[in-house]
Structure 1
């Protein structure tokens, strides 16, 4: 038994490059677990910098100074973000308030429908079972309402931090884009000389993360905009709010689409009832989900490493449980990182060619 373990250890970790890669992964994971909350503005800034690096690089290739290219790109990004916030956030806030105010009516209609089931199906459903189920659901709803109120109150204290982030994040994004080569050289000097596998994994993950962030943002905008327009055309109430929910649901593959179906179906049932309009709504929603999975995702993520759906779901559960929203957002790149690390460890040992600089594309 120990001989098998020893041979496995010698095969995988006798290479100094493999040990350096393992140490880097452990140190990075510890830093994120311990200081992840403090470093959140830096992580957000790095995500935005990845998103904006493509236009900055193309402007720089056309002869524009990198500082000027960074300034132009960042200003346009901030202006678009402000216009979207001014145009969308007030509508979403109003629709959210209206939906919360109508929730008692929706729940009352649901209770009446549940109470009518024993009369329609006396042989299958008992009255006591329905009463117990409704009492249990009422208790759960009250508990959820209390949690929402407590979260809303506690979030007031985060407004000051949000204002600070609105100043710090754009500044950090500007310097990350403007002095990208300087930071890369600094990182290269810190890394150990035995970094063949680190460079191999770093180059692959840099391309994967850049493609993923840009593709995911575009996917959210397309799916959210298409859904909002379709719901508005069908005169569905809270069309923009539901469209935004559907757009952000693509962050969680497979699970998000299933979860967001519930509010769409509830609002449709409350407004249209079980009739042709409701089934048309669900048909349109199903078509949009099919287009996302079979057309939009393959086009946007054609360069991404394919992962089995089971691995993606496991990655969402594991990394989402560890790092919350950002763990869910980066579940696929992190799963790809695990795959790249395993592939690097499985690759044959090569002669070390000396220090390399990890480049971004």
Structure 2
């Protein structure tokens, strides 16, 4: 595991993976924009698509340190990270087991692409270990999970998944985006490959698109061999911005997590809200499991408005919280999963996963909770009128 984990989390965020400015001794990493490097008399033949420019190489060290893994790779998006990782370990005739409630983009990727390549797949009926176990076949190569899940914040037992997979010599992958490395480190529970949409908490400012994968050096090497053919590398300008953003990752996520707990408790008591999905609530069915495997419960939650309160009218009545497509920025945002993240699913498929029209996913930012509460209350009042 990465020795950098011996450092404090803020120290790791700020200092691990810095590009040293040897010439001018600047306090921040210099940015190397070149797409052409020397090939003779050099230790490394560098090329952007090979994920080894100076900025790319050092940022991978920071991400590996944050996830406590040996190595990491960065990509142009979360989906580039997911697709490159999947295809690195799969071939025609292989089988994958996928947790039922996952990010809609991941679901669409699997059902749209795997059949073309002769890759079999099965979705579980829940996040319970028994469901995964019952679907294992002789050709099963990957167990893919997402915890907390998008958008209902379900919790999957990582240690149980890891033990099951190792018993059958199966690889495990997790989408760790919602938790971030601050609140959860799946590698510590035996998960092999950790994936992030770095657009979200790692970027944190709603201004860059990126993805990340953290794993052992052996697994990263195999992903790299596939990734260089798909060309999902990140531009060095965005690499530099992501490294800058990661310096405040712990400060941002800790504040957002504390705010999310306050907002979840408020929403749970609100008479105009039917259900609140947040692993930090004791009413959450997997609260004890979340407490066991998470260092913090995260800054994402979902809630359902009572029947008769239109979800879109409510969101359009908000004045401080922004109804937007993405999540995890400094600012609080909402989204309707039925119209965005899970719009590619049929209505029947969405309902099977518990995703109703009145469901709102709430990404809690760094604002004062009292201001967010005030905004929600005025919006509900306006819609009810």
Structure (1/2) with the larger helix percentage: 1
TM-score computed with the length of structure 1 as normaliser: 0.23
- Name the larger-Rg structure: 1
| Larger RCO: 1 or 2 (CA < 8 Å, sep 6+) | 1
TM-score computed with the length of structure 2 as normaliser: 0.22
